[in-house]
């Protein structure tokens, strides 16, 4: 069965997610920003979701984790929870 290791930042607005994505692109650390701004329980782990399998996350996030290029910061991705930035380290 497929699995992947990913991390994300969850915020309330698309504008906030876009601003954080710019800060990451400018060199700020994803995990530091996740700890400071994310509203997900993964905040304590710097946004680390650990190893996930298809179907564990909401559909739109599953699509990013299992279909998009590795190591890039994807998003903002809208879900019922808010707006996500997602980065995938590996999948198999």
Listed residue (57, 51, 55) closest to 80, CA to CA: 57
Token digits of residue 80: 């019922």
Residues 6+ apart with CB under 8 A from 12: 39, 82, 83
Question: Is the pLDDT assigned to residue 1 strictly greater than 90?
Answer: no
Q: List pLDDT tens digits, range 12-67.
A: 999 999 999 999 999 999 999 999 999 999 999 999 999 999 999 999 999 999 99
Q: Which pLDDT does position 35 carry in this prediction?
A: 98
pTM, rounded to two decimals: 0.94
Q: Which pLDDT does position 69 carry in this prediction?
A: 97
Q: What is the mean pLDDT of residues 4-11?
A: 97
Q: Which pLDDT does position 17 carry in this prediction?
A: 98
Listed residue (81, 89, 80, 78) closest to 31, CA to CA: 89
Q: Does domain 4-91 have CATH number 3.30.430.20?
A: no
- Ranges of each domain in the chain: 4-91
């Amino acid at each position: 069965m497929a699995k992947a290791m990913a991390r994300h930042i969850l915020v309330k607005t698309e504008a906030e997610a876009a601003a954080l994505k710019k800060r990451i692109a400018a060199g700020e650390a994803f995990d530091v920003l996740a700890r400071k701004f994310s509203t997900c329980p993964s905040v304590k782990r710097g946004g680390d979701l650990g190893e996930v399998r298809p179907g564990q996350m909401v559909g739109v996030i599953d699509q990013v984790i299992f279909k998009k290029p590795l190591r890039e910061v994807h998003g903002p991705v809208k879900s019922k929870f808010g707006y996500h930035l997602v980065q995938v380290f590996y999948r198999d």
